[in-house]
């Protein structure tokens, strides 16, 4: 018989899944923006802008991933006070 369920043990799994879903959604939107700037842009200016946007997206993804990996998700079990 189970006397108590520890729902706080699911916090790391849920936060990881939300992180992966959010990252996938972000990259999908970034792909659409880059694709439309390259495909429908007239001249070289939109292509340069899409390259800058791509470099910024890669940098932002790396920063967010490093910050997420350094986050201690098990500290969320402790009360704040």
Residues 6+ apart with CB under 8 A from 46: 37, 38, 40
Question: Which tens digits make up the pLDDT trace of 2-56?
Answer: 444 455 567 777 888 888 999 899 999 988 988 888 888 888 888 888 889 889 9
Domain limits, the chain? 28-70
Question: Which tens digits make up the pLDDT trace of 30-44?
Answer: 889 888 888 888 888
In angstroms, rounded to a whole number, what is the distance separating the alpha carbons of residues 37 and 19?
Answer: 27
Which pTM does this prediction carry?
0.66
Task: Provide the pLDDT for residue 9.
Answer: 63
Q: Spell out the SS3 assignment of the chain.
A: CCCCCCHHHHHHHHHHHHHHHHHHHHHHHHHHHHHHHHHHCCCCHHHHHHHHHHHHHHHHHHHHHHHHHHCCHHHHHCCCC
């Amino acid at each position: 018989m189970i006397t108590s369920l520890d729902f706080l043990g699911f916090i790391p799994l849920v936060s990881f899944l939300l992180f992966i879903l959010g990252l996938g959604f972000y990259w999908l939107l970034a792909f659409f923006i880059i694709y439309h700037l390259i495909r429908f842009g007239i001249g070289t200016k939109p292509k340069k802008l899409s390259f800058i946007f791509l470099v910024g997206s890669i940098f932002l993804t790396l920063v967010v991933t490093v910050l997420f990996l350094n986050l201690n998700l098990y500290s969320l079990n402790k009360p704040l006070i």
